């Protein structure tokens, strides 16, 4: 397990890999939670360097789809939600209810989808920022609504 830190328009990001796959992207300020080790810093690790390059290209408006080995840690339900999030295209948004329906559930599962969305360990690459409230408003984002707004604006600006 190793990690690196990169600068971005949404602040410093800590990229974490384990066994050759990205397992986490943490927003600054970084919170080390017990049981979530990061290992040693390794700015030259090929997976971390590749992730850093793709994030830089994304933030420059030159990349619309990430191609990285991912291994998010979560429950089976969370992984299903995160997989569905990964299908949201660049600049596309969906509501929590729409994600629930795409998973074969009713709108009643919107809250569970929202909770899984909020626990996404690989934000930006797994685009949880693309999920909005039923009325079209920006709702909760683990990285803060200001970051969510920056990410959505970046994607909207890159489309035109």
The whole-angstrom separation of Cα 132 and Cα 135 is: 8
The two tokens of residue 63 are: 């990349």
The whole-angstrom separation of Cα 85 and Cα 66 is: 13
Specify the DSSP class assigned to residue 30: P
Please indicate whether residue 51 is annotated as part of the active site.
Answer: no
Which one of the listed residues 10, 85, 94, 128 is annotated catalytic? 128
DSSP string, 84-153: HHHTSPTT--EEHHHHHHHTT--GGGHHHHHHHHHT-SSTTTS-GGGEE-TTS-----TT-HHHHHHHHH
Active site residue ranges: 128
């Amino acid at each position: 397990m190793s990690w690196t830190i990169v600068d971005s328009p949404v602040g410093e990001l800590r990229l974490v890999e384990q066994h050759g796959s990205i397992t986490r992207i943490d927003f600054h300020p970084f919170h080390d939670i017990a049981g979530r080790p990061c290992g040693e810093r390794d700015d030259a690790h090929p997976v971390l360097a590749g992730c850093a390059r793709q994030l830089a290209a994304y933030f420059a408006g030159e990349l619309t789809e990430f191609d990285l080995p991912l291994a998010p840690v979560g429950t089976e339900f969370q992984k299903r939600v995160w997989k569905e999030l990964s299908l949201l295209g660049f600049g596309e948004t969906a509501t929590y209810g729409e994600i629930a329906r795409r998973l074969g559930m009713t709108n009643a599962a919107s809250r569970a989808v929202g909770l899984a969305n909020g626990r996404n360990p690989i934000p930006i690459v797994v685009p949880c920022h693309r999920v909005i409230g039923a009325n079209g408003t920006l709702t909760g984002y683990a990285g803060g609504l200001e970051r969510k707004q920056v990410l959505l604006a970046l994607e909207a600006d890159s489309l035109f």
